[in-house]
Amino acid sequence: MRTTPEALRALATPKAMKLFERYGVLSNRELQARVDVHLEKYNAWLDIEARTMIQMLRTQVMPPALRHQESVARMVAATRSAGAVPKNGERNLKNLVTLVDELERVDR
């Protein structure tokens, strides 16, 4: 088992329930209640982590990403106005725009 939900599902199998009941550790109802509580706790923890990640994205990732995108866009425009073709700059700007768009989609 690699994840918490997998481990908790394994506890709720008929085989596990029979084993716990046979040795007087927990009844089926008690074991199921423990699994339910642990799943609730895990889901709450996961929700907190996801909200924290979104807040970090909004406050610590997006502002510098947007500033960098703006800086590259200004560099591309300045290179064009000087009469040169900013191939690498344009490619970098397109990549940045794509990545920032993806980050903005995550934030919705």
List the domain range (segments joined by +) for residue 43.
4-107
Q: Residue 24 has what DSSP assignment?
A: T
Instruction: Report the domain count for the chain.
Output: 1
Instruction: Give just the sign of the alpha carbon dihedral 61, 63, 69, 75.
Output: negative
Whose tokens are 């344009």? That residue is: 90
Quick: pLDDT tens for 93-105: 999 999 999 988 8
100/86 Cα distance (integer angstroms):
21
Lowest pLDDT segment from 4-8, 50-54, 66-70, 102-106: 102-106
Residues 16, 19: Cα–Cα separation, whole Å: 5
Other C-beta atoms closer than 10 Å to the C-beta of 20 total 17
The reported pTM is 0.70
* Residues in Cβ contact with 107 at an 8 Å cutoff, skipping those fewer than 6 apart: 54, 57, 58, 62
pLDDT tens digits, residue range 46-58? 999 999 999 999 9
